[in-house]
Structure formats: C-alpha cells, structure tokens
Amino acid sequence: MKITITNIGQEFNTTAAWRIIAQILGKKNSVIGLSTGRTTGGIHAAVADVYKKFPFDASQVTVFNLDELTNVPREYFGGCYTMIRNEICIPMGIPEENIIMPPTISDNFEEEGRLFEERIMQRGGIDLQVLGIGENGHLGFNQPGTPFERTTWLSVMDTPLEERVRRETQSPKDANLGGLTLGIKNIMQSRKIVLVANGARKADIIKAALLGPVTVDVPASVLQLHPDCEAILDVEAAAGILLVLQQNKH
Ligand code: GLP
C-alpha cells in the first residue's frame, strides 16, 4: 500500500481532492465511489473549490456513496445521498441520472442492494473508491467481524452514529435504523482505492489496519491485500505508524 502523509488541515483535503479530480480528468466517464462523514466533507469542498475556479467537464462522471442510511428520510441532511449531492454533485454539475444510490426506505433492501451493485456494474464497475475509516476499523457499514467475501448487504450502524441519527431525525424507538453498504468484496473489486484519515482519534486504528494482521476484526486491514490502494493520512492520524517506522529505523 502506498502511504502519503500530509500536514493537518487544508493540505490533507487538497491532497485527497486531487486524487478525485485527477481520476475525472484522466477518464471523463469514471465511476467514483465516495464516502461521507467528517473526514470527507473537507475533501469534497476542496474538489468543489477547484472546480469552481478551474471548471472541467464532470458531466459524464458517475458517482455513488458506498453506503446509505436506512429507514430515515432521504432528504435528511446526514443521509449519504443528500450529502454527496450537496457536497459534490450540485457544485460540479453532475447530472441526477449519474448519481447511483439506493433508496433510504424500502421493504426489500436485499433487492435494493442487488440493484445498486448491478447499476454500478452497468456503468463499468468502480474506477476509484474513496474510503473513510471508522474508529473501530469499519469500512462503510462493514463492522468488525464482517466476512471479507460479503457483497452489498444491510448492516447495523455503530452505536454513536445510531444515537446521532435518532436524535437528528427524531426517529421513533421502533424504527429499525441500519446501513445498506457495499460489502468488502465489492470494495476490493475497485480498480483503485484511496483511504483517507485525519486527526489523532484515528491514529490507533490506522496503525492496526495498515501494519497489523489482516483480520476481519479490523475490516480496513483487508486493504493491505489490494493491488492499487493509497492511504492519505494527516500527521495526526499517521502518528502511530510513524512511531513504528522510526523505531524500525534504529
Ligand atoms: C461512518 C460511515 C463511513 C465513514 C466512517 C468515518 O459511519 N458509514 O462510510 O467513512 O464512518 O466517518 P468520519 O469521517 O466522520 O470519521
């Protein structure tokens, strides 16, 4: 795995943003998988800023988010469709028909997952998948313990996220919240992967995922096996691996 370490702040966002921009400039009809969250918000804003200043043709790009919340309104500001639409698609003029996302409400999420995968494959499969990482090593909603051969499925949220979503959406207690997510197998089939992490709270899991054993207990550790994966880390998220690398030098 290639590891790129940046300063904290804008340099991190700009570095990751340029991977997305370069992908589009290199292949106009790229299929790009995004991730939502605190980490990628700044990256998406940097992509939109560059586009605004130096416009280029993004009208043929297909985008999706690797996961989506279930049983909340699609318009919820924390919903993945709404976030990528507001952060990337509207600012860059990516047409609605080029956004592939499952619905948030359905009585058959198994079928929705199958359709989600099928629509991505119809566009040629994933050229670039950008991934955030959970503090427990999750990728999308693939929590620790998820088998590596899993394809798109309906998983659970981690507790802090579920609590936040319930608070913000005022979901009734009996509403079964979850996350429809590409499985580890789908993620690994991406031609290129960029893992992004910033901040000290990610330092321990980044060390485990990048330097520890490949194990389902740390879903992101599977990325060590991908032939074209780059981790973009700010110095805080890289602190744990930097310590090991320095110790190995002596
Ligand atoms: C969320 C999402 C992931 C995201 C991750 C990190 O639960 N399901 O796709 O990458 O957690 O989020 P953040 O960047 O806010 O730490």
| DSSP E strand stretches across the chain | 2-6, 31-34, 62-65, 67-70, 128-131, 153-155, 178-181, 192-197, 229-234
pLDDT recorded at residue 48: 98
Q: Whose CA is nearest to atom 8 of ligand 1?
A: 140
Counting as low any pLDDT under 50, the low residues of the chain are none
Q: How far is CA 75 from CA 78, 79, 111, 168, in A?
A: 8, 7, 22, 12
pLDDT recorded at residue 172: 86
CATH number (domain holding residue 150)? 3.40.50.1360
Return the best residue to mutate from 12, 36, 182 for the ligand 1 pocket (most ligand atoms within 8 A of CB).
Answer: 36
pLDDT recorded at residue 174: 85
Tokens of 122: 């119809």
pLDDT recorded at residue 26: 98
Q: How far is CA 235 from CA 112, 131, 175, in A?
A: 39, 18, 40
pLDDT recorded at residue 52: 97
State the distance from the centre of ligand 1 to the C-alpha of 133, rounded, in angstroms: 6
pLDDT recorded at residue 214: 98
* Domain membership of residue 115 as a residue range: 2-249
Number of domains observed in the structure of the chain: 1
pLDDT recorded at residue 69: 97
For residue 106, the Cα-to-chain-centroid distance in whole angstroms is: 23
pLDDT recorded at residue 175: 87
Tell me the whole-structure pTM to 2 decimals.
Answer: 0.96
